[in-house]
Structure 1
Amino acid sequence: MGSNRIVFALILFLLFQCFATGCSTSAKQNGSKTVATQRPYVIKNRTYSPLPSAVGFEETGLASWYGSDFHGNPTSNGETYNMHDVTAAHKLLPMHTMLLVKNLDNGKEIVVRVNDRGPFVRGRIIDLSYGAAQKISLVQPGIARVKITALGETKYDKKIEKRKFTQYANLKSGEYFVQIGAFIEKHNSLSLQEKFRDFGHKVLIKQSSMKGEIVYRVQVYVGKTLSNARRSERALREKGYKGAFLIAL
């Protein structure tokens, strides 16, 4: 019941904010530019808006694969597609998300890195490279029902000329917060924190460094159950906080 009250209070707060501010988002106050692969794009008259984070992401649906017709062509993030690598295309997940892909037809699993967009076929959730499809016996049938789970992300480290893997925290349990803004100017974060606190919400400001600059991240408490936390996350996005994403502490 406590978590439901949190969700309800958040929705009331957001409705008030819409009347007061016209549902303006904090995205433009973020202090950092959106990379090209994270911007909304249009395929076949449909707009896709990439997720700001893959933390806690799970999905079940059909997987397919792509191979020689695309071998050597650029992927959506500018890499050269190698059909023999273990990579994947997803419509919404951030590039370089590491995914566990389980073939539900035979139980085989493979970990892939997202470096492309697609598949743009109704009902399909992921396109695997030929190399990845081979590992879970997907090549012959062409499609299979799979479950995909985000494990973490990789970032290229120039010093060692390799990608370093960062594992996501376990979202199955814990205390949940939704990050609603990230600011270079501290007074902007304090202003947003005060708005939520005025309605009785617990709000944290976490300080971190990004590209040599101090960033102030505003995170609002949304309960102890994942289902209610997800509802709050969706409510915040729908009411104007487009970059809101879930965090477990």
Structure 2
Amino acid sequence: MPKIFSLVIALLLSSCSIDNGRYQMAQDRGPSYEPDLSQTQLQTPKAEAYSRGGNKDYQVWGKSYKVLTTHKDFSEQGIASWYGKKFHGHLTSNGEIYDMYQLTAAHKHLPIPSYAKVTNLDNGKQVIVRVNDRGPFHNNRVIDLSYAAAAQLDYLKTGTANVRIDSIWVEQSTPQTPLPLPQMNSLNQYFIQVMASKDPIKVQAIASKLQVRYGYQSQIDQQQALFKLRVGPFSSRKDADQLKVLLKQAGYTQSYIVSSQSKS
């Protein structure tokens, strides 16, 4: 019988990835030159359906995090940090491309995507951001803003700021549907096998990254000296197919789908 290991996610930095092969910069930083951010496109809050990826409950460093089923009437105060060039051009937790010159943010609990107004309590400056990523996960920080958003709040040099977060809820003719609560499905389920390796540390690092980025559970099945990484379960083949496409786009080209009836 294969031995299933529960994963405890260990992230090395404030944003979502720990794959040093993909993120080759040891330390995050801003661009090598000071860009002109005067033409940065402002965020116009609108009603958006919450994404399938990145909206599941998850664990980091052994701590469990619950994703809110709605961002309506949410507010919070705490310390904001920012992230930039290290993650520029890579995938966010819901499968979008992170652009440090756009007004976006990472949050541990808000459903994604959603919108929020962030106020720098030290200088009164404000910015509206679109939350599309997970983090930060250290030093009691409550939100990670993009490079451009941190520039708007004028704390690039200090690195952190005391902020207040107020969600922005946009009503629409068809009410925005809250995220469904997790349910167990006793019928046939689907998994995506992402990789197999004899290096358990490498496999667990990638599993941790994928679980936070896409919001689905990860499993490592040990079969003798081989460690197989699988993501899931999915209650439908359609959901599994959608994530498989994202995984292949992210460079995991060997990903394929197996069912609980055939998983071995």
Sort the TM-score into its range (normalised by shorter chain): 0.3 to 0.5
The alignment's TM-score, normalised by the length of structure 2, stands at: 0.45
The alignment's TM-score, normalised by the length of structure 1, stands at: 0.48
Higher relative helix content: 1
